[in-house]
Amino acid sequence: MEQILAFIQNYGLPVFVIASSIIVLLGILKLCKVFNKIQNANVKKFLYYVIDIALAFGGVAIYFAIFKESFADYVTVSLTQITATTTLYAIYENLGARKLVQLFWNWFSRLVQEDKHKQLVKFAKAVGLDNAIEELKDVSLKEAEKLEQKIAEEKKENANISVAKEV
């Protein structure tokens, strides 16, 4: 915590907010598995850094536009932002905050996945739709049966076409 406060004292609150936003955005991109097709870890890290640079310039531009700052110092502030984001990420990664965030995210994901159905049922009962859920289950089963029949019919039809072509 002391290191984060020192970071804010050195760079300022706006730089801290922009850096945190960049880190969160990159984290979301990683969670969405945007970079999974890239096998080489060094290429991934380079790509993360390039995105960090682009977002730093973009974040500073947005900040300058919102607060009507002069763009005379834009490049200097953007370069400072890149340094600050890199520093904050190092703090985030080395102090164990990353593991804490990952533990929270895993817990939250499991909670949401396990409780989706329960939450939906509770909500439906709360608004008086408990019968609608049962009707939806029945409709879903009927639709699944119809789909299975259609697939079986198409398989038979395709088999008949194949036999006809051979003759």
The residue to which tokens 């699944």 are assigned: 144
Measured distance CA(94)–CA(81) in Å, rounded: 20
Name residues whose C-beta falls within 8 Å of residue 87's C-beta, 6 or more positions apart in sequence. Answer: 7, 19
Judge contact between 7 and 88, C-beta under 8 A: yes
pLDDT tens across 11-34, in order?
788 888 999 999 999 988 988 889
Angle, alpha carbons 157-161-164 (nearest 5°): 135
More confident residue, 98 or 66: 66
pLDDT tens across 131-143, in order?
666 665 666 666 7
Judge contact between 81 and 15, C-beta under 8 A: yes
Q: In the predicted model, what is the mean pLDDT of residues 39-64?
A: 94
pLDDT of res. 103: 82
Q: In the predicted model, what is the mean pLDDT of residues 100-104?
A: 80
Q: In the predicted model, what is the mean pLDDT of residues 73-98?
A: 88
Q: Exposed (0-12), middle (13-18) or buried (19+): which is 12, by Cβ within 10 Å?
A: middle
**Per the structure block, which two tokens stand in for 41?**
């870890």
Kindly state the percentage of the chain with pLDDT values over 90: 34
pLDDT tens across 64-82, in order?
999 998 999 899 999 999 9
pLDDT of res. 162: 63
pLDDT of res. 145: 76
Judge contact between 88 and 98, C-beta under 8 A: no
pTM value is 0.59
